Amino acid sequence: MNKVVDIRTAIDKIKSGDKVAVGGFGNVGGPMNLLYELEKHPEINHLTTISEDFQMSETPYNQGFTGLLLNGQIDEIVVSFFGHKKAQAKVDAGEVKLTLIPQGTLAERLRAAGAGLGGFYTPTGVGTVVEEGKETKVINGKKYLLELPLKANVALVKAYKADRMGNAVFAYTAQNFNTAMATAADIVILECEKLVENGEIVPDQVQLPGVFVDYVVHCEEVHY
Amino acid sequence: MAVNKRETIAKNIARYFHDGDFVNLGVGIPTLSANYIPEGTEIILHAESGFAGQDGAITPPWDVNDREACDRELNNPKWADKENGWKIGHKDICDASGNLAILSKGASCFDSVVSFMMARGGHLDATVLGGLQVDEEGNLANWMVPGKNIPGMGGAMDLVSGAKKVIVAMEHNAKDGAPKVLKKCVFPLTAINCVSVLVTDICIIEFIDGKMTVVAMAPGMTKEELQKRTEATIHFADKIDVMDIVEE
């Protein structure tokens, strides 16, 4: 089995209007090459991005969402943390919609989508603005909010090492949101620094099983 | 000699750390408290970015944006010594602020789902975070000032919802002297009834039987002056400790 494709072929799988889940925490574990390729195709737009934060920098090949945002390819940003002036200006001008989700709730909503759950009750956000409009339930005397699964059309994720079947290994803390994002999307595109042959990764060291992955793109290592 | 408020708060937080504790430290003053962990006390630091076992130094002592410096320092035997093995920084290790971090020996890495299982599931002995306002009911506001840019709540709401002890680090009064320890928080809340301990530059307040109870005060501080600088109704423990002070 061989899921390896060139980066252009992979990006063509993204359709305008898609919800795109993007792995990474800050720049660590972010699929920088895939994002960079996506911004070269401004005809793919009206996207909703789902990510831990909205990483932006000025460095080529490592600029996160900068190009996508400035190209006007993004209609809605779903994040837990957000803090960039250029992005804030777009939100203030009403050009981009911003949805904030507590970080643990974001991870768990993605997991719920990937795990086929109808939702879950969490104590996070009880008594805050996060509770507004949500069903609540008292379980064993404690109040919880019902949070629903968060599904994406496409996930862009990044691993340190992958084989041609998409079995992946992450470096240190670069696993972060990558696994949850990958399980929550219909189409999963995995960028890897190092491509190995099937069977070369020890089975019990696989962190993201290849069954979740549709396309593998071998990219240059990005230095943050 | 002027008091260094931030370091004073950080030092007094460290008295709540016990050997073997698993603790999350938020950005700012909470991070500084790692420098005051008592000798012989070993705690494991949780970073919601996905690891347990952050080195006490927290951020590498070089400019993490300087690629050349990173490369040079990551090959420095001091950090990358094979024998001491795990005390390494790498481009794929970041702390909760997204800054390059250093793993300690015996560290473990995990994904974000597991990271927040630890936070919500009661696996953290303590979470320490900054505050904007704290009130009599133990409510905390720390993520948003109305009218200002909204950076997002990040992981704060999850961390306070499950940790065994929630310790808030905050200067007692705003720059203009306005109280931050209130009867009722005005800013949007991070969580309700969550604060266990509040450490400020002039006192330590524990929530005992739901009451704000002062258990320590800065040297020279009087009950009268403390109440004057506090909007909330405060109670005083039978025995009031003297806080450690860090001077400028």
pLDDT score at B86: 39
Chain pair A-B, CB pairs under 8 angstroms: 149
Q: How far is A11 from chain B (nearest CA, A)?
A: 24
Band (B9; pLDDT cuts 50, 70, 90): very high
User: Is the per-residue pLDDT at A129 higher than 80?
Assistant: yes
User: Is the per-residue pLDDT at A22 higher than 90?
Assistant: yes
**Binary contact (A79, B157; C-beta < 8 A):** no
Active site residue B7: no
Backbone angles phi, psi at A183, to 5 degrees: -75, -20
B240 in A contact zone (CB under 8 Å):
no
**Binary contact (B112, A25; C-beta < 8 A):** yes
Q: Is residue B155 one of the residues assigned to a domain?
A: yes
**Binary contact (B192, A88; C-beta < 8 A):** no
Residue range B215-220: average pLDDT? Answer: 97
Identify the residue with better confidence: B167 or B58.
B167
Q: Is residue A2 one of the residues assigned to a domain?
A: no
Q: Is residue A145 one of the residues assigned to a domain?
A: no
A82 to chain B: nearest residue by CA? B151
The CA distance from B229 to B225, in Å, is 6
**Using an 8 Å Cβ cutoff, are B229 and B170 in contact?**
no
Alpha helical stretches, state H, chain A: 7-11, 32-38, 66-70, 85-92, 103-115, 178-183
| DSSP of A4-25 | B--HHHHHTT--TT-EEEE--B
**Using an 8 Å Cβ cutoff, are B210 and B203 in contact?**
no
Q: How far is A55 from chain B (nearest CA, A)?
A: 10
Q: Is residue B96 one of the residues assigned to a domain?
A: no
Q: Which residues in B lie closer than 8 A to residue A123 (C-beta atoms)? A: 120, 161-162
Number of domains in chain A: 1
The CA distance from B15 to B33, in Å, is 10
Cα–Cα distances (Å) from A69 to A43, A48, A100, B40, B65, in that order, read 13, 11, 17, 50, 23
The CA distance from B156 to A183, in Å, is 25
Identify the residue with better confidence: B146 or B149.
B146
Identify the residue with better confidence: A71 or B79.
A71
User: Is the per-residue pLDDT at B65 higher than 60?
Assistant: no
Q: How far is B224 from chain A (nearest CA, A)?
A: 33
Three-class secondary structure of residue B151 per DSSP: coil
pLDDT score at A172: 87
ipTM over 0.90: yes
Q: Is residue B174 one of the residues assigned to a domain?
A: yes
> In the structure encoding, which two tokens stand for residue A204, read together?
């019990």
**Binary contact (A55, B150; C-beta < 8 A):** no
Backbone angles phi, psi at B142, to 5 degrees: -150, 10
**Binary contact (A108, B162; C-beta < 8 A):** no
**Binary contact (A111, B113; C-beta < 8 A):** yes
pLDDT score at B151: 83
**Binary contact (B153, A224; C-beta < 8 A):** no
Please write the tens of the pLDDT for every residue from A50-64. Answer: 999 887 766 655 678
Residue B174 maps to which CATH number? Answer: 3.40.1080.10
A108 to chain B: nearest residue by CA? B113
**Using an 8 Å Cβ cutoff, are A99 and A78 in contact?**
yes
B99 to chain A: nearest residue by CA? A26
Q: Is residue B17 one of the residues assigned to a domain?
A: yes
pLDDT score at A82: 85
Q: Is residue A193 one of the residues assigned to a domain?
A: yes
Q: How far is B41 from chain A (nearest CA, A)?
A: 26
Q: Is residue A106 one of the residues assigned to a domain?
A: no
pLDDT score at A54: 86
**Binary contact (B49, A82; C-beta < 8 A):** no
Q: Which of B7, B39, B42, B48 is catalytic?
A: B48
Of B90, B116, B189, nearest to A128 by CB-CB distance is B189
A118 in B contact zone (CB under 8 Å):
no
Three-class secondary structure of residue A26 per DSSP: coil
Q: How far is B206 from chain A (nearest CA, A)?
A: 22
User: Is the per-residue pLDDT at B117 higher than 60?
Assistant: yes
**Binary contact (A127, B192; C-beta < 8 A):** yes
User: Is the per-residue pLDDT at B128 higher than 60?
Assistant: yes
| Amino acid code (one letter) for A57 | S
Band (B198; pLDDT cuts 50, 70, 90): very high
pLDDT score at A52: 94
Please write the tens of the pLDDT for every residue from A3-16. Answer: 999 999 999 999 99
B215 in A contact zone (CB under 8 Å):
no
Number of domains in chain B: 1
Q: Which residues in B lie closer than 8 A to residue A98 (C-beta atoms)? A: 150
Question: Domain range holding A27?
Answer: 7-101+150-218
Please write the tens of the pLDDT for every residue from A67-102. Answer: 899 999 999 999 999 877 788 889 999 999 999 999
Tell me which residue has tokens 């943050």.
Answer: A224
Q: Is residue A31 one of the residues assigned to a domain?
A: yes
Conformational region of residue A71, where left means phi above 0, alpha means psi within -120 to 50, and beta covers everything else = alpha
B160 to chain A: nearest residue by CA? A124
Torsion of CA A104, A107, A112, A115, to 10 degrees: -130
Question: Domain range holding B179?
Answer: 5-53+109-242
Residue range B17-33: average pLDDT? Answer: 92
